[in-house]
Structure 1
Amino acid sequence: MRIRVVSSREEIFTLNPNERIVHMAFRPSNKDVFGLIETCPKIEVIQLPKSYMATVSGSIKMFLQMQRIQLLEGDVWGHRKDINEYYTISSSVIEKIKEMKNEGITGEEIEKKVSRESKLNPAMVGYILAKETTV
């Protein structure tokens, strides 16, 4: 699973329209969020660092909810944009989530354990859990 890392406003309009998960590494305005949704109509998740989440307007949060787009808090630890524009969640992490789900471990416990081991935000682990186990 890959997360597209966007580090500037200008980059939004150069994105592949098929992007589903985007991490915005800058403080987006309402216009930036609308531009992202327009550029990537298949988007499912927008991830923002914790410090930027507090500045997202209530109207944008409501709009994203109506569009069924999840707004998640989180970081892409150790990612270097100059090397790769995508942050990759390893298949071993996804397999571990599936295994734990099959063992009957609760979603909350899976989120805690996997986020602690992989440095993924619990909300992103929850998204993967919901996405990968419904297929």
Structure 2
Amino acid sequence: MGEDIMKIRVVSSREEIFTLNPNERVVHLAFRPSNKDIFALVETCPKIEVIQLPKSYRRTVSKSIEMFLEMQRIQLIEGDVWGHRKDINEYYSIPSSVIEKIRELKMEGTPAERIEEKVARESKLNPEMVAYILTKEAPA
């Protein structure tokens, strides 16, 4: 399994969208994106699978964008990158201990919902992000 799944690319301004690596799969937008920003992001990163937004911004996303992302099979997830310092690193890393925990629980046959709940509670990741990692990092 590649390292790339473990990292969330944090984008703090719309100008930054155009500088992104086209291979990014998980992006956290730390600003309130317009429809145009989301289209630009999907165009710049054709492999994108998850866009994460803080709760307050998630609520402002238009229905048409939600439908567009659904058609592109891109998940829109609500969540934060806790204590992330953008000036130090443009990526927020999901600790490997979290991935290990997910794998362990999965191997024990724990139902996905329980894993999402438990890991989200312990790691401050939101359940949707845990679900994404579960499908990506720890396939059955």
> Structure 1 length as normaliser, TM-score?
0.97
Deviation at 1:108, TM superposition (A): 1.0
Find runs of 4+ consecutive structure 1 residues off by over 3 angstroms: none
How far apart, CA to CA, are the structure 2 residues paired with 1:68 and 1:133? 20
Matched residues, percent identical? 79
- Matched letter for residue 134 of structure 1: P
Q: Does 1:67 align with 2:76?
A: no
Q: Distance in 1 between matches of 2:30 and 2:37?
A: 12
Q: How many Å separate the matches in 1 of 2:99 and 2:32?
A: 29
CA distance in 1, matches of 2:83, 2:9: 14
Q: Which residue of 1 aligns with 2:29?
A: 24
Query: What runs of 5+ residues in structure 2 fail to find an aligned partner?
Result: 1-5
Is residue 132 of structure 1 aligned with residue 137 of structure 2? yes
Q: Is there any run of 5+ residues in structure 1 with no aligned partner, and where?
A: none
| Partner residue in 2 for 1:54 | 59
Counterpart pick for 1:39 among 14, 19, 44: 44
> 1:134 Cα shift?
2.5
Identify the match of residue 120 of structure 1 among 117, 122, 125. 125
Residue type at the aligned position of 1:112: E
Name 1:6's counterpart in structure 2. Answer: 11
Residue 114 of structure 2 aligns with an amino acid whose one-letter code is: E
- Counterpart AA for 1:9: R
1:91 deviation in Å? 1.1
State the 1:74 CA deviation.
0.4
Q: Deviations over 1:18-62 (max 9, x none)?
A: 100000000000000000001101100000001111100000000
Q: TM-score, normalised by structure 2?
A: 0.94
